[in-house]
Amino acid sequence: MRPEILFPLFAPVTSLKGVGPRVAPMLERLAGPIVRDVLFLKPHSIVRRTPATLASARDGEVMTFEVVIEQHQKPRVSSQPWRIRVSDPTGFMTLVFFGRFADQLETRHPAGARRLISGKVGDDKFGRQMVHPDYMVDPDKAEEIPELEPIYPATEGLPARRVRTFVLEALERAPMLPEWQDAAWKAREHFPAWREALERLHAPESEADLSPLSAHARRLAYDELLAHQLAMAMRKAERRREPAAKIAASEVAEKVRGDLPFRFTGAQDRALADIRADFADGERMSRLIQGDVGSGKTVVAMCAMADVAAGGGQSALMAPTEILARQHFDTIAGPLLAHGIGVVLLTGRDKGKPRAEKLAGLASGETQVAVGTHALFQDDVAFHRLQLAVIDEQHRFGVAERQRLQAKGEAVHLVAMSATPIPRTLELTVYGDLDVSRIDEKPPGRTPVATRAVPMGRIAEVEARLRSVVAEGAQAFWICPLVSESEVSDLAAAERRAADLTERIGPGVGLVHGKMPAAAKDAVMAEFAEGRLSVLVATTVVEVGVNVPNATIMVIEQAERFGLAQLHQLRGRVGRGRQESACVLLYDPPLSETAQKRLDILRRTDDGFVIAEKDLELRGGGDALGLRQSGFPDYVFADPFLHRELIAAAGDDARLILARDPELKSERGQALNVLSELFDWKAGMALKDAG
Ligand code: ADP
Ligand code: MG
C-alpha cells in the first residue's frame, strides 16, 4: 500500500497550477502522468555567465554575447519576422522575432545600443542567427541574466520556461520524507537530505552543482539504484522461500559428459557446479548463464537436464526460433539418448498424429526432455513432472512466456542463457534478481577471427575476394547497414546489396530481414545452414546463436554505426569451425575517434567480457540507447558509467537490509518502503528487459 506521505507526489499532473486539459497531455508526454514525474524531470543546466565572441558561436548551443545593435530590418509582409542585425568586433549575427509586438523592438533596442543577448544559436542558409533570444539586456544590468540556468525538455506548445514553473511547483509539493539512507554512509558521502538534493538539482548554485558527481546528484542516483536493488533483492528472497525439489548430481550426467569428444573448460565446470549447488539446496533456482556465442552453455544445460532425468523429473529447453531449437536438439539428443534419456523436438511445425505422440510421451513422463520453441508453452502441452526450464536467448522471451512454461510444473527451476556479455559492474542492475554464472573461457582449439577494417571505397576488392573464396566452397554473412530509422529503406538497401552480390558472385545469395515472417526467415536461414546458399545478406536480424560451422566470412557494412557489443556478436557467428575465418568491417571514412577506437578494440580482442567493459568506457555512459538494448534500465538519475561504484554499494546495502530486516519493519525499513514506492520499480522488469 502506498504511504500517505506520498499522495501529493502521486497526484495527476493536472493537480499542478496551470496544467489544464490543453497542457496536461503535453506535460504527460514530457514527464509522465503524475507530479512525481514532473519533479523527476532532470534539467540539463547551462552556464550563461561569461559572454562569448560571435566568432565562437556554435550552432545549437545556448550562448551569451555582448553586441551592438546595428540595424532593424522591418518585415515587408506581416508574415515575415522582424530581424535585427547585431555585431561584435569578431562578427555579425541576426536576431529574429515573430509576432505582433515586434515593432516595439526598435524603441527598446535602438541602433547603436549595446546589449547582452543570450539564447540558442542557429546557423543555417540564412547565416548565423538567434530566434527570440531568452535575454536581451543592457550590459549594466547583466545580473538579470542568471549565472546558471536549468533547462528542461520542451515540446511544441510547451516551452522549457513553462515546464520549469511546473517543476518548481512540484518541488513545493514535495514532502520531507523520512531518511532511508544509512546514517553513517550518508555522512561519509556528504549526502544532503532527499528534498534538499532535489532543490539543488532544480536550482544549482555553482558550476560544481552541475556535475553528476556532486553530492546531491550522487544522492539521487544512489536512491534510485537502492530502490531498484531492493526491489530485485526482495523478489529474489521471495523466490528463495519457495521450496523446490532437490535434485542430486547424477552418475548418468557424468557419463553423458564423459562421452563428449571434448573436456569441459574450467568455466563450464564452474557453471555446472553452480547449478548443482542450487539444485541441492531445496530452493527454487533462477540462474543466468552468461557467455559468448559458442562458449559452451548448451552442453552445461544438457548435463543439468541429465541430472533432472536421473532423479525422475523432466526438463524443457526453449529457444526463440525453430532453427535454434533444431540445433539444440541436434546437440543434445544423441548424448542423452545414448544413456536412455528420451528427448523430443517440439516446434510449430509439429501437427496431427506425430505431435500427439510427442505430447503423450511428455504427459506420461516417458520422454524426459523437450526441446522447442514457443510451441512448448501452448495450453495442450502437459508434463508429467517438469522440474527444470532452460531458456536460451532469454531476452527474446517475455516474462509471461517464461512463466507459462514454468507453470507447467511445480516450483520449476530456471536456467536462463544469454550470449550478451554484460560488464561486471552492470551485472547487478541488469540481472540483480538472478544468480549469474559467467562462462568466460572459450573451448580450446578455436582459431581467432582475423578482423580488418576496410574503407567503403574498397568494396570492390572485398567482393572480388569473396567471389574467389565462395568458389572454393566457403560461406559468408553480409550484414547490411542501418541506413535510416525506417525499416523500409533499410530493406531497400539490403535488397540492393543482395542483387549486387548476385550479379558479382552468382546465384546462391540469400536475403533475410526483420520484416519477413518468422517461417520464411527460418527457411532461408536453414538453406544457408545446410550449405545451399553461399552468401547470406541480412539486416541485423541474424540469429545470435545460429551455428553454421562452414561460414567463415563476416562482412559488416557501415561498421562504424554499430556498437561494440553488437559487432562482437555479429563476428561471433564465424570462426566456429576449424577453418581460418575473417571479419571485414566496412566503414565510411572519415572515422570519428570513438569509432576508430571501437574498431581497434575489436581487432585486438575477441573476449566478450573485455569488449563489454571497453564498450562501457567508450560510451562513458552517454549512449543510453545502446545500453538499454543490452538490458540496462532506464534510470532517471543514475548513470551506468559515472555512478558505477554506487551500483555495487547499493547492491550490498540492499542485501544487508533484507538480511537484518526482511519485512522492512524497523524505522529505516519503513523509510525504505517509502523509497520503494517512490520509485515504484515494476516487478519482473529485469528479466523481461535483460539481454
Ligand atoms: P553456446 O550455447 O554457448 O553458444 P554450445 O554449447 O552450443 O555453445 O557450444 C558450441 C560448440 O562448441 C558446440 O559444437 C559444442 O559441442 C562445442 N563445445 C562446447 N564445449 C566445448 C569444450 N569444452 N571443448 C570443445 N568444444 C566444446
Ligand atoms: Mg547458444
Q: Which atom of ligand 1 is nearest to the CA of 264?
A: 23
End-to-end CA distance of the chain: 31
Ligand showing the shortest atom-to-Cα distance for residue 330: 1
Ligand 1 pocket, mutate which of 257, 259, 262, 437 (most atoms under 8 A from CB) = 262
Task: Name the residue type at position 148.
Answer: L
Q: Which three cell numbers stand for residue 429?
A: 542492475
Q: Which atom of ligand 1 is nearest to the CA of 293?
A: 4
* Percent of the chain clearing pLDDT 90 (strictly above): 59
Of 326-330, 372-376, 561-565, 651-655, where does mean pLDDT reach its minimum? Answer: 561-565
Arithmetic mean of pLDDT, 273-301: 93
Residues 6+ apart with CB under 8 A from 505: 463, 466, 467, 470, 534, 535
Q: Which atom of ligand 1 is nearest to the CA of 265?
A: 23
- Atom 11, ligand 1: which residue's CA is nearest? 294
Burial string for 108-130 (b: 16+ CB within 10 Å, else e) reads: ebeeeeebbbbbbbbeeeeebbb
Q: How confident is the model at residue 683 (pLDDT cuts 50, 70, 90)?
A: very low
Q: What is the pTM of this model?
A: 0.77
Q: How confident is the model at residue 633 (pLDDT cuts 50, 70, 90)?
A: confident
Q: How confident is the model at residue 686 (pLDDT cuts 50, 70, 90)?
A: very low
Ligand showing the shortest atom-to-Cα distance for residue 293: 1
Q: Is the pLDDT of residue 622 over 70?
A: no
Arithmetic mean of pLDDT, 176-192: 96
Q: Is the pLDDT of residue 290 over 90?
A: yes
Strands (E), 379-513: 386-391, 409-418, 435-439, 449-455, 475-479, 509-512
Q: Can you tell me which residue has the cell 543482395?
A: 498
The DSSP code sequence of 596-626 is HHHHHHHHH---HHHHHHHHHHHHTT--HHH
Q: How confident is the model at residue 688 (pLDDT cuts 50, 70, 90)?
A: very low
Ligand 1 pocket, mutate which of 299, 324, 329, 543 (most atoms under 8 A from CB) = 299
Ligand showing the shortest atom-to-Cα distance for residue 549: 1
Arithmetic mean of pLDDT, 287-305: 93
SS (H, E, C) 628-673: HHCCCCCCCCCCCCCCHHHHHHHHHHHHHHHHHCCCCCCHHHHHHH
Q: Which atom of ligand 1 is nearest to the CA of 295?
A: 3
* Percent of the chain clearing pLDDT 70 (strictly above): 94
Ligand 1 pocket, mutate which of 263, 290, 298 (most atoms under 8 A from CB) = 298
Q: Is the pLDDT of residue 146 over 90?
A: no
Q: Which of 234, 192, 235, 242 is nearest to 215 (CA)?
A: 192
pLDDT, position 267: 97
Arithmetic mean of pLDDT, 136-145: 91
Q: How confident is the model at residue 422 (pLDDT cuts 50, 70, 90)?
A: confident
Report the 10 Å Cβ neighbour count for 144: 12
Q: Which of 482, 446, 512, 511 is nearest to 293 (CA)?
A: 446
Q: What is the pLDDT of residues 440-499, one digit of tens each?
A: 988 887 778 999 999 999 999 999 999 999 999 999 999 987 655 566 667 788 889 999
Q: Where are the alpha helices (DSSP H) in 110-214?
A: 160-173, 183-189, 194-202
Handedness of CA 278, 279, 283, 286 (dihedral sign): positive
**How many angstroms separate the alpha carbon of residue 255 from the centre of ligand 2?**
22
pLDDT, position 685: 41
**Alpha carbon distance 608, 466 (integer Å):** 27
**Residues within 6 Å of ligand 1 by CB:** 262, 264-265, 268, 291, 293-299, 331, 443, 545
**How many angstroms separate the alpha carbon of residue 327 from the centre of ligand 2?**
9
Query: 402: part of which helix (H) or strand (E)?
Result: helix 399-406
pLDDT, position 548: 83
**Alpha carbon distance 678, 179 (integer Å):** 13
Q: Is the pLDDT of residue 656 over 60?
A: yes
Q: Which atom of ligand 1 is nearest to the CA of 439?
A: 3
Mapping DSSP to helix (H, G, I), strand (E, B) and coil, where does residue 132 land?
coil
pLDDT, position 632: 67
**Alpha carbon distance 516, 617 (integer Å):** 36
**How many angstroms separate the alpha carbon of residue 294 from the centre of ligand 2?**
6
Task: Name the residue type at position 365.
Answer: G
What is the 8-class DSSP label of residue 433?
Answer: T
Ligand showing the shortest atom-to-Cα distance for residue 394: 2
Arithmetic mean of pLDDT, 621-650: 75
Arithmetic mean of pLDDT, 340-351: 94
- Give yes or no for a contact between 392 and 368, defined as CB atoms under 8 angstroms apart: no
- Give yes or no for a contact between 94 and 129, defined as CB atoms under 8 angstroms apart: yes
Q: Is the pLDDT of residue 237 over 70?
A: yes
pLDDT, position 541: 61
- Give yes or no for a contact between 303 and 314, defined as CB atoms under 8 angstroms apart: no
Residue 483 Cα distances to 201, 557, 558, angstroms: 38, 10, 9
pLDDT, position 543: 56
Q: Is the pLDDT of residue 533 over 90?
A: yes
Beta-carbon neighbours within 5 Å of ion ligand 2: 545
Q: Which atom of ligand 1 is nearest to the CA of 328?
A: 7
What is the 8-class DSSP label of residue 263?
Answer: P
Q: Is the pLDDT of residue 185 over 90?
A: yes
- Give yes or no for a contact between 513 and 539, defined as CB atoms under 8 angstroms apart: yes
Arithmetic mean of pLDDT, 267-294: 94
pLDDT, position 104: 87
Q: Where are the alpha helices (DSSP H) in 435-512?
A: 459-471, 487-505
**How many angstroms separate the alpha carbon of residue 337 from the centre of ligand 1?**
18
Q: What is the pLDDT of residues 659-669, one digit of tens each?
A: 999 999 999 99
pLDDT, position 389: 97
Q: Is the pLDDT of residue 33 over 90?
A: yes
pLDDT, position 398: 78
pLDDT, position 570: 87
- Average per-residue pLDDT for the chain: 89
Of 340-349, 366-375, 429-438, 486-495, where does mean pLDDT reach its minimum? Answer: 486-495
- Atom 20, ligand 1: which residue's CA is nearest? 296
Which is more confident, 293 or 108? 108
Domains of the chain by range and CATH?
50-145 (2.40.50.140), 251-439 (3.40.50.300), 449-605 (3.40.50.300)
Arithmetic mean of pLDDT, 597-608: 88
Q: Is the pLDDT of residue 231 over 60?
A: yes
